[in-house]
Amino acid sequence: MREGFGTKTRFKSVAWGLVLLANLCFGASGDTNRYEFRAAHDPDGIGKIYMGREIAQVMGHQGADWLERPERELEEQPDKMVGLLGIKPGQVLADIGAGTGYMSRRLALNTGRGGKVLAVDIQPEMLDLLRQNMASAGISNVVPVLGTESDPKLPENAVDLVLMVDVYHEFDFPYEMMSNICRALKPKGRVVFVEFRAEDPNVPIKPLHKMSEKQVRKEMSTFPLRWIFSNETLPRQHVLFFEKTP
């Protein structure tokens, strides 16, 4: 519920209608068997189930200020997290659900002027805020990318590392998104999930906005991705690393 990866905030009274509409639209293009739809569901979810997990509601651009709240430094230790990624100067990075650019600007500083950060969001309003923030910070190597709910619109075989901070659990079409992300990765490129730990009841986040390592690894098992390791040193989140396989 973090990086603004949604077209708008869903309201409980219309959530089920939107889910059914998504089902009908997606069914016209092919496979609906990956997803289950429930009329009775968690109020923090959308009633759409993927591999046993209900997909969480998203946060709209109206909540952009929350992304930049000062408390994030203590609660999430973003600079420490970026330091765990092993970024090298000149790499091409993708920040999925970039929102206001809170993580993108940190990635940009680590990859340097010779590198590039593809900052993906599906809300034009978020990308407008991101552009303003990058200009204010004097950062020129962040490229805003307007994606869709099923495609981040990344170039094929071009990205060294894809970062998703507290956003994967909100993807309306997780299978389609990850398929396109895998196509964008270079050979041995990495995907990194940062998610609030569902295993820890003391993490003060709503259950649908947390993910267990077991669930993330289960969902990635259908893709050409190999789990490498997990880091548990952040106060509230896992950092889960996967590598693209041949």
Render pLDDT for 84-120 as a digit per residue (tens, 0 to 9).
Answer: 999 999 999 999 999 999 999 999 999 999 999 999 9
Q: Among residues 54, 147, 22, which one has the least CA distance to residue 97?
A: 147
146 falls within a domain: yes
Q: What CATH number corresponds to the domain at position 127?
A: 3.40.50.150
pLDDT value, residue 63: 61
Render pLDDT for 184-240 as a digit per residue (tens, 0 to 9).
Answer: 999 999 999 999 999 999 999 999 999 999 999 999 999 999 999 999 999 999 999
Structure token digits, residue 23 = 């089902």
149 falls within a domain: yes
**Structural domain count, the chain:** 1
228 falls within a domain: yes
The strand pairing partners of 196, in sequence order, are 237
Task: Give the global pTM.
Answer: 0.87
148 falls within a domain: yes
Range of the domain at 106: 73-244
**Strands 225-231, 35-37: pairing kind:** unpaired
